[in-house]
């Protein structure tokens, strides 16, 4: 490819902006279009974590034995809306298949390699785009309710050790309190990952990158894309008001990417995780580090000077109304686990996370059309893997080899 050729990126979230910056740096003429403002997507409402230690896929061996419980507990850490069970059944079958022992190790290896590359790509992005002042290098406490659940997590920590993620295992409330005061004394066991990073505010991080993309000559426009077609020479992006011609198009529209891929004939099993959180003004709790409550599927993190409580996974599609009872149950747990924290007057939020059944994103060239590149399906790891995804998409368009294996992320991996 001639670097001066034009690329349209569909999606102005953290993945789309990172793709745009990487292509722009390579000399491409890049436009980013989105049906709405970035404030309407998950890139601004997330927990702000670069979760580089989260190398274990969600579809772990034996997870489907818990499936009946998901339906019985709609407020649990991983739930499926009963009305959605038939719609999501094909995705669940692929999710179950990904958890088998013959598949799981290779999926974890691919995730770990992407995470390692994501760390170096993040450092490059932070250096290039003045991001270091927006980073928090304060580590993460992964907390367990009991000795039994802590012991059951040994495979997680073994995987971290195998793939070079440093950590300290803690065995008393005193050790935990030295890192984070104010936790319930019920927590006697934890793992501390010192190299964990957070962004000070995901909204500011996204704005900084978008501003610098525009300063360097990039274009960001509000357009509602309906379909895409391509031939051997060009791509047509059909919007509500007009069509745009370009040499390549990158679909990075998050949870809305599936319908766009279908317009060129690709049926990719993308589903939507509905994530919930509540953000509290300063003074509600003095947070020293990112907290992950491993047995409950939620986190507590700093966002600017505020505190955000969020997490859990609800599989319910794009059209159902939010169920903010999920936020409230997280807050009741947070109040138990952080007794001095005030949980009143918080701002509730729900966002859509694009999720693949094998927990790996879709990155690479469409099987149907080599001028269409996909970059979506990161689940709750979009921020974490955004800089790396930008570089991998750039290499795909420029015809350069990837620094990691590409086949685990191939858009065509589910065709058979």
Q: In this predicted structure, what is the pLDDT of residue 41?
A: 66
* Residue 217 CB neighbour total at 10 angstroms: 9
Domains of the chain by residue range: 6-44+204-266+359-409, 55-99+134-197+270-355
Give 224-245 as a DSSP string: -EEEEEE-SS-EEEEESS-EEE
250 neighbors 307 (Cβ within 8 angstroms): no
Q: In this predicted structure, what is the pLDDT of residue 79?
A: 83
Give me the residues of the chain with pLDDT under 50, please: 38-40
Give the up-direction half-sphere exposure of residue 26: CA atoms within 13 A in the CB hemisphere: 26
Q: In this predicted structure, what is the pLDDT of residue 39?
A: 41
Q: According to CATH, what is the number of the domain 6-44+204-266+359-409?
A: 3.50.50.60
Q: In this predicted structure, what is the pLDDT of residue 71?
A: 63
The residues near 230 (Cβ < 8 Å, ≥ 6 apart) are 236, 249, 264, 369, 371, 372
269 neighbors 91 (Cβ within 8 angstroms): yes
Give bridge partners of residue 364 from the DSSP assignment: 374
Q: In this predicted structure, what is the pLDDT of residue 261?
A: 97
> CA-CA distance, 238 to 227, in Å (whole number)?
5
DSSP label of 3: T
Give bridge partners of residue 120 from the DSSP assignment: none
Q: Which CATH number fits domain 55-99+134-197+270-355: 3.40.50.150, 3.65.10.10, 3.30.9.10, 3.40.30.10?
A: 3.30.9.10
Q: Closest by alpha carbon to 302, among 281, 322, 317?
A: 281
Q: How far is CA 170 from CA 141, 160, 176, 291, in A?
A: 10, 16, 7, 14
413 neighbors 397 (Cβ within 8 angstroms): no
The two tokens of residue 326 are 């999920």
363 neighbors 111 (Cβ within 8 angstroms): no
Q: Per residue in 45-75, is it b (16+ CB within 10 Å) or e — as a string?
A: bbbbbbbbbbbbbbbbeebbeeeeebeeebe
> CA-CA distance, 270 to 231, in Å (whole number)?
25
Q: How would you classify the pairing of strands 197-199 and 189-193?
A: unpaired
DSSP label of 200: S
Q: In this predicted structure, what is the pLDDT of residue 4?
A: 76
47 φ/ψ angles, rounded to the nearest 5 degrees = -75, -5
Its pTM stands at 0.95
Q: Per residue in 261-281, is it b (16+ CB within 10 Å) or e — as a string?
A: beebebebbbbbbbbbbbbbe
The two tokens of residue 339 are 């007794």
Query: Angle 82-83-86 (CA atoms, 0-180°, nearest 5)?
Result: 90
Q: In what order do the strands lie in the sheet with 135-136?
A: 49-50, 197-199, 135-136
E strands along 171-216, which residues?
189-193, 197-199
385 neighbors 363 (Cβ within 8 angstroms): no
Q: In this predicted structure, what is the pLDDT of residue 38?
A: 44
Q: In this predicted structure, what is the pLDDT of residue 313?
A: 78
Q: What is the pLDDT of residues 100-118, one digit of tens each?
A: 999 999 999 999 999 999 9
Q: How far is CA 297 from the centre of its chain?
A: 15
């Amino acid at each position: 490819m001639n670097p001066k050729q034009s690329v349209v990126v569909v999606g102005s979230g953290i993945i789309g902006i990172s793709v745009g910056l990487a292509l722009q740096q390579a000399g491409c003429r890049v436009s980013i279009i989105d049906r709405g403002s970035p404030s309407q997507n998950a890139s601004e409402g997330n927990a702000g974590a670069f979760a580089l230690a989260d190398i274990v896929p969600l579809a772990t061996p034996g997870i489907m034995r818990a499936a009946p419980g998901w339906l019985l507990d709609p407020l649990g850490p991983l739930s499926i809306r009963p009305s959605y069970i038939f719609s999501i059944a094909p995705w669940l079958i692929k999710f179950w298949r990904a958890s088998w022992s013959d598949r799981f190790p290779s999926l974890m290896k691919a995730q770990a390699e992407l995470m390692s590359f994501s760390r170096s790509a993040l450092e490059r992005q932070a250096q290039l785009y003045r991001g270091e002042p927006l980073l928090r290098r304060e580590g993460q406490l992964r907390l367990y309710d009991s000795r039994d659940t802590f012991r059951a997590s040994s495979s997680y920590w073994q995987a971290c050790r195998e793939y070079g993620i440093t950590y300290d295992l803690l065995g008393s409330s005193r050790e935990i309190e030295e890192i984070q005061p104010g936790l319930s004394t019920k927590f006697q066991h934890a793992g501390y990952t010192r190299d964990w990073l957070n962004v000070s505010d995901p909204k500011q991080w996204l704005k900084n990158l978008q501003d610098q993309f525009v300063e360097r000559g990039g274009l960001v426009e509000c357009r509602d894309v309906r379909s895409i077609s391509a031939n051997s020479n060009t791509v047509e992006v059909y919007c509500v008001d007009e069509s745009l011609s370009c040499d390549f198009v990158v679909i990075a529209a998050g949870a809305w990417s599936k319908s766009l891929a279908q317009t060129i004939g690709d049926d990719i099993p993308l589903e939507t995780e509905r994530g919930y959180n509540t953000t509290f003004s300063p003074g509600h709790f003095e947070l020293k580090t990112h907290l992950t409550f491993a047995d409950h599927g939620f986190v507590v993190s700093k966002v600017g000077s505020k505190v955000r409580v969020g997490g859990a996974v609800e599989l319910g599609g794009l059209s159902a109304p939010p169920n903010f009872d999920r936020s409230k149950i997280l807050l009741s747990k947070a109040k138990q686990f952080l007794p001095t924290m005030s949980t009143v007057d918080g701002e509730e939020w729900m966002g859509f996370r694009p999720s693949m059944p094998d927990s790996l994103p879709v990155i690479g060239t469409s099987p149907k059309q080599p001028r269409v590149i996909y970059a979506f399906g990161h689940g709750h790891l979009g921020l974490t893997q955004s800089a790396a995804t930008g570089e991998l998409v750039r290499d795909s368009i420029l015809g350069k080899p990837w620094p990691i294996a590409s086949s685990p992320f191939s858009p065509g991996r589910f065709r058979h």
